[in-house]
Amino acid sequence: MWPANRLTERLNLKWPIVQAPMGTMTTPALAAAVSNAGGLGGLGMWGLSAEDAGRRIAGFRQLSGGGLNVNFPIWPEPVTTQDAVAAMQRHLQPHYDAKNLGRVPAPQGVASDVSDEHLAMLLEKKPEVVSFHFGLPRTEVVRAVKDAGIFIQSSATTAAEARRLEAEGVDAVIAQGTEAGGHRATFTDVAMSMQAGLFALLPQIVDAVSVPVIAAGGVSDGRTAAAAFMLGASAVQMGTAFLMCEEANVQPAHREALAQANESCTVVTDVISGRPARYIRNKLVDDLLSSGLKPLPIPKQLSLTRPLGASGDREMTALFAGQSAGMVRHRTAADLVEALAQDALQRLRSFN
């Protein structure tokens, strides 16, 4: 029960609260604030060289003696056709023109994986947790990281995915309900319309695996965290709630949109990045959806849409957010961890 369980004991956590590693929106200051408050701070490593990733971990270590979770999304080499690229460039050109951005460039981006250099860096820096999104990297990487005593976790959007992750060696599964902000972790091609919300997904994943399960998607306060524990979670992982904290690297237009969000303003779509993710709906989403064009595979699509938000235009920015964004209040990460932990504790005690 809240707060102590086999996961908190293994990871030496005061509170079973995990801050989602959200790419470069997560900063060493955010992760350190969460870990110093007794939760597990996380840093996204996508797109960083092994050297830069190592520097990011060192930045965290200067600010905290607590545990750290570093995260690598895994995707294959993005393969496109010239026709698909040309059609997307043609479609986006008027938006580039409106912002004086010149010609739409050639799409950029490669596979995302844990290279040998990244692996060597991980074995040297030894973060307490390494997590993955969209499945797992090659078996040798999983084995080497585990052999170094590092805890491994990855997200599942179905019970079948959770079973597969457990069979491949994860120490904990993150059950990602459809409420979640950011990219859908799905790695088995299950259609979005067939995926479950956390209330249905979590107990079924808890029943499907024997490793601890971390609940993600729509958890944002003591009530939702307590509910996740009632459904069998060993910890909660929050992304959207931490996005509004002052330590997060979130652009003003994005912060403003989060502050005005409600329960029905988000949509899951692959048109922004090339892979399904939940965003606050805006003109960029609507425009790409109505174009009927198939997006380029991640991260090539993102390389074309990202420049449109660089000037801070809310309508042209990728506004990642979960369905609980309307419940999120602006405060520091330490306040958020403490308030949520105490509130969940009170609520769960009232059931005794």
Interface residues toward ligand FMN, by CB under 6 A: 20-23, 25, 44, 46, 71, 73, 131, 133, 155, 176, 179-182, 216-219, 237-241, 243, 320, 322, 324
Minimum distance from CB of 112 to ligand FMN (Å)?
10
Residues sharing a CB contact under 8 Å with residue 59, sequence separation 6 or more, in sequence order = 28
Query: What's the farthest any 2 CA atoms get from each other in the chain?
Result: 64
> Which residue's Cβ lies closest to ligand FMN?
239
String of DSSP letters for 295-318: PPPTTHHHHHHGGGGTT--GGGS-
Distance CA 204, CA 23 (A): 29
Minimum distance from CB of 61 to ligand FMN (Å)?
21
Q: Give the nearer residue to ligand FMN in terms of CB position, either 216 or 296.
A: 216
Q: Give the nearer residue to ligand FMN in terms of CB position, either 104 or 195.
A: 195
Q: Give the nearer residue to ligand FMN in terms of CB position, either 32 or 318.
A: 318
Minimum distance from CB of 184 to ligand FMN (Å)?
9
Minimum distance from CB of 294 to ligand FMN (Å)?
23
Q: Give the nearer residue to ligand FMN in terms of CB position, either 84 or 228.
A: 228
Write the burial class of residue 281 (CB in 10 Å: 0-12 exposed, 13-18 middle, 19+ buried): middle
Q: Give the nearer residue to ligand FMN in terms of CB position, either 104 or 162.
A: 162
Minimum distance from CB of 90 to ligand FMN (Å)?
29
Minimum distance from CB of 314 to ligand FMN (Å)?
15
| Listed residue (233, 290, 299, 297) closest to 267, CA to CA | 290
Minimum distance from CB of 93 to ligand FMN (Å)?
28
Q: Give the nearer residue to ligand FMN in terms of CB position, either 8 or 26.
A: 26
Q: Give the nearer residue to ligand FMN in terms of CB position, either 104 or 265.
A: 265
**Cα separation of the two ends of the chain:** 11
Please give the backbone phi and psi of residue 79, each rounded to the nearest 5 degrees, phi first: -105, 125
String of DSSP letters for 73-129: E-BPPP---HHHHHHHHHHHHHHHHHTT--S--------B---HHHHHHHHHH--SE
